[in-house]
Amino acid sequence: MLFHSTYGLRPAVRDAADRLRAAGHEVWTPDLFEGRTFETVEEGMVFKDELGKVELLKRAVLAAAPYSDRGLVYAGFSLGAATAQTLALGDDKARGLLLLHGTSDIAETASVDELPVQLHVAEPDAFEPDDWLTAWYLQMGKAGADVEIYRYAGAGHLYTDPGLPDYDEEAAEATWRVALGFLETL
């Protein structure tokens, strides 16, 4: 289950899903914004805030529910990574969590049984500062997750999206190599 960023379900998300399918994975890309896409993070954040966190999460849960008995690997880009994390930590059948460019708060009561988690994030990243990532890593470990973090020096926040100024081809290709290897182990 691959969730889009605050930009919406852009071609880069569909291309990522196609890359994963070409590697033998079954992938769903729910459109949590119902066809809306945005040119800037700010526009997307305004829409997300208008939609509301509860509605966004409800849409994500409804999208994942028909497949969750299969043991999903949750994945997402930035806001979609935060959404994927929330769902994976609440799904006892989740097989893994692949976070691209983002994380989210972790409930104190979160508990997983050695859930494999891989995070890919720019260094530095204004949306994922070092202090936050350190605390996040410790909380994920406390919850029982088996976490790997990969940092990409000099890359922009959404560096895997070739349609955005943040794009960094070298970092993006390195991310996909490592992520595909991770997915093969699940």
- The per-residue DSSP string of 42-82 comes to HHHHHHHHHH-HHHHHHHHHHHHGGGGGG-PEEEEETHHHH
Per CATH, which fold does 2-185 belong to?
Answer: Rossmann fold (3.40.50)
pLDDT digits (tens, 9 = 90+) for 22-65: 999 999 999 999 999 999 999 999 999 999 999 999 999 999 99
Q: What is the pLDDT of residue 181?
A: 98
Residue 88's H or E segment, with its range, is helix 79-90
Question: What pLDDT, on a 0 to 100 scale, did the predictor assign at position 68?
Answer: 94
Phi and psi at 159, nearest 5°, equal -70, -10
User: Of 80, 110, 73, 114, nearest to 94 (Cα)?
Assistant: 73
Residue 135 · residue 148 · CB < 8 Å: no
- What CA–CA distance (Å, rounded) separates 75 from 68? 13
pLDDT at 40: 94
Q: What is the pLDDT of residue 72?
A: 97
What is residue 105's predicted lDDT score, i.e. its pLDDT? 94
> According to the model, what pLDDT value does residue 53 have?
93
The mean pLDDT value of the chain amounts to 96
Residues in the chain: 186
Q: Are strands 96-100 and 116-123 parallel, antiparallel or unpaired?
A: parallel
Q: Which of 164, 147, 144 is nearest to 155 (CA)?
A: 164
The separation between CA 10 and the C-alpha centre of its own chain, rounded to angstroms, equals 14
pLDDT digit string (tens) for the chain, length 186 residues: 999 999 999 999 999 999 999 999 999 999 999 999 999 999 999 999 999 999 999 999 999 999 999 999 999 999 999 999 999 999 999 999 999 999 999 988 999 999 999 999 999 999 999 999 999 999 999 999 999 999 999 999 999 999 999 999 999 999 999 999 999 999
